[in-house]
Amino acid sequence: MKILYIPSGFKRIYEYFDQTIMKELASLNHEVKSFNALLGVKKLQTMLQIYRPNLVLTMVGMKMRQEMITFLNKQSIPTAIWLTEDPFYIDRTLTFIDNFDYVFTIDTAALEVYHKNGHKNSYYLPLGVNPEIYSPPLTEPQKKYDLCLVGFPYPDRVQLINLLLERTTYSILVVGAKWDQELSHRKHNRRLFIINTWLKPKLIVSYYHQSKIILNTHRPYDLKENKNSQLIINKSVNNRTFEIACSGSFQLIDNKADLTDHFVEGEEIISFHNAEDFNEKIDYYLTQPLLRNTIATGARKKAIREHTFEKRLEKLLSIVQSN
């Protein structure tokens, strides 16, 4: 199949997604070319005349101008979009998904909305993981941190870290922009380590390996920055779930409705349901290094077997080709 891939246009982690998708499509023996949406409709028209793809695939879609979408609609080429910010910007995605033949979303709650709105060719497809980047260490490093949390300091995450610093004596690493602002009153706490910037995936993995437990909590559905006026509650696990698993690290994740569709609770992953459950499991698993390793090993095997970008793209293309 000849595929024209239009990158999201976003930086940082999306550049990693775009590069990985291009590479995996090629490894699946498809011919793939990339087109920058900022080049405009005339350049796209020239590209289509020369390349003549069987599918146009894009991610997110929020940086594609309407004139480009309208142009693509007039071509006899199937189009597919992978919506990877659902349901947090669903007010916006609902305005343009009807322009695509196939819609793939990372969240089952968003999928229900799309079906309700009449888009029959909508499918659940979580993001995947690149096992070449998210892999166990060649030699086991020293565990410098008891707990590690990577990601933006959403209010619930900030509250969680504050409670841990008040309640426990555990060492905690947080990674991501703006953590220093949110925890400025804790900056002299010797148990708190802050890396106040976005880091590339390979470097993130190295910090996973230096931590006993990776905390994985999800973005709140009701953040004021969201574009989610219907207050659709996200039901699906985030992509960090698969990345932590594939890296061979142990994670404690806040439970989501579809978690057990991906990993076996108690054998491949451990989740928590409330603050009391969280505290008990933190205390328990920090004393169980062998059990943590067994669970992390099981999670990695599952991630390699079922949750790579290769597996995701195989599913996406099989759906498109079957129709």
Helix (H) or strand (E) holding 303: helix 289-306
Lookup: tokens for 147:
């707990």
- Is residue 145 classed exposed, middle or buried when 0-12, 13-18 and 19+ CB atoms within 10 A define those classes? buried
**Structural domain spans, the chain:** 2-128+308-322, 145-306
| 222-234 pLDDT, tens digit each | 999 999 999 999 9
Q: What is the pLDDT of residue 301?
A: 98
CATH for 145-306, among 3.40.228.10, 1.10.8.10, 3.40.50.2000, 3.40.50.10470? 3.40.50.2000
pLDDT of residue 77: 94
DSSP tag of 140: P
Distance CA(61)–CA(80), nearest Å, equals 10
The tens digit of pLDDT for each residue in 1-49 reads: 999 999 999 999 999 999 999 999 999 999 999 999 999 999 999 999 9
Contact indicator for 208, 81 with CB cutoff of 8 Å: no
pLDDT at 187: 86
φ, ψ for residue 270, nearest 5 deg: -125, 130
User: Rounded to an integer, what distance in angstroms lies between the CA atom of residue 242 and that of residue 227?
Assistant: 25
Element (H, E) at 139: none
Query: Is 230 in a helix, a strand, or coil?
Result: coil
Reply yes or no: is the peptide bond before residue 53 cis, omega within 30 of 0: no
Task: Determine the pLDDT at residue 138.
Answer: 85
3-state secondary structure of 297: helix
Rounded Cα distance between 259 and 265, Å, is 8
Name the token pair of 132: 């070449």
Domains 2-128+308-322 and 145-306 share a fold: yes
Residue ranges of the chain with pLDDT lower than 50?
none
Within 10 angstroms of residue 242's Cβ, the number of other Cβ atoms is: 26
Q: Name the percent of the chain in helix, strand, coil, to the closest 5.
A: 40, 20, 40
Alpha-carbon distance of 246 to 133, in angstroms, equals 9
Backbone angles phi, psi at 144, to 5 degrees: -80, -25
Core vs surface per residue 244-257: b (16+ CB within 10 A) or e: bbbbbbbbbbbbbe
State the CB neighbour count (10 A cutoff) for residue 180.
Answer: 15
CATH number for the domain formed by residue range(s) 2-128+308-322: 3.40.50.2000
Enumerate the H helices of 213-254 as residue ranges: 239-246
Altogether, the residues listed in the chain come to a count of: 323
CB 87 within 8 A of CB 202: no
d(Cα 148, Cα 292) in Å, to the nearest integer? Answer: 15
Confidence at residue 141, expressed as pLDDT on a 0 to 100 scale: 86
Q: How many Cα atoms occupy the beta-carbon half-sphere of 194 within 13 Å?
A: 20
DSSP labels, 148-181:
EEES---HHHHHHHHHHHHH----EEEESTTHHH
